[in-house]
Amino acid sequence: MDEAAIFTIHGWSSRMLKNHAFDSASLFQQSRVEDSARLRLTAVQDYWRKWFYAVPLDQLGALRSVGANPEELLKNLKAPWALMEKSPGVVLPVARDPLTLIREWGIWNQQLQTLETAARGSFPVEAVAMRDNANAAKLVEKGWTQAGD
């Protein structure tokens, strides 16, 4: 009994995978990822560099829903990643790539500009002057500025 090999399930599984690496289509040497949070942040930062650094400043508004920075993008991805960890077979909806978001946002922004221009033309000049005077005198609460016509 003293010479009997006693292994935990983890140890036995690891030994079987090493001994039968070709049969199991696994690596001879395997290692565990201890800090998956750091690995995820690195992946998100790489994705951010690939897609977001090349985007012109006037088009960055299209990507606000994705996240304003890599940390926010990582925060937005936590729920889908947690769902995939709990249920590996779950199929998540296909996400649109940033180029598609930028293109769709450009179309939306052009329509917005057209509508804003038409709306501004319908305001009497006196009303716009009164609003500008009120803003200059700081009589209007914060939030109603010229950009928010």
30-40 pLDDT tens trace: 566 677 788 88
pLDDT, residue 148, reads 46
- The whole domain housing 10 covers 1-32
pLDDT, residue 85, reads 78
pLDDT, residue 46, reads 92
Asked whether residue 90 falls in the same domain as residue 47, the answer is yes
Mean per-residue pLDDT, 47-76: 82
pLDDT, residue 100, reads 83
Q: Tokens at residue 123, please?
A: 């305001």
Mean per-residue pLDDT, 83-109: 80
Asked whether residue 26 falls in the same domain as residue 56, the answer is no
Asked whether residue 16 falls in the same domain as residue 56, the answer is no
Mean per-residue pLDDT, 14-32: 69
Asked whether residue 41 falls in the same domain as residue 75, the answer is yes
Model-level pTM?
A: 0.49
Mean confidence (pLDDT) of the chain: 78
d(CA 24, CA 121) in angstroms, rounded, equals: 71
pLDDT over 70 (residue 149) = no
Domain count, the chain: 3
Q: Tokens at residue 34, please?
A: 């201890």
More confident residue, 25 or 104: 104
Asked whether residue 43 falls in the same domain as residue 87, the answer is yes
Asked whether residue 56 falls in the same domain as residue 11, the answer is no
pLDDT, residue 25, reads 64
Q: How many residues does the chain have?
A: 149
Residue corresponding to tokens 């000049």:
125
pLDDT, residue 45, reads 92
pLDDT, residue 1, reads 58
Asked whether residue 39 falls in the same domain as residue 91, the answer is yes
**DSSP structure string for 49-105:** HHHTTTS-GGGGGGGTTT-SSHHHHHHHHHHHHHHHHH-TTPPPPPPPPHHHHHHHH
d(CA 71, CA 62) in angstroms, rounded, equals: 18
pLDDT over 80 (residue 98) = no
Asked whether residue 80 falls in the same domain as residue 39, the answer is yes
pLDDT over 50 (residue 97) = yes
pLDDT over 70 (residue 27) = no
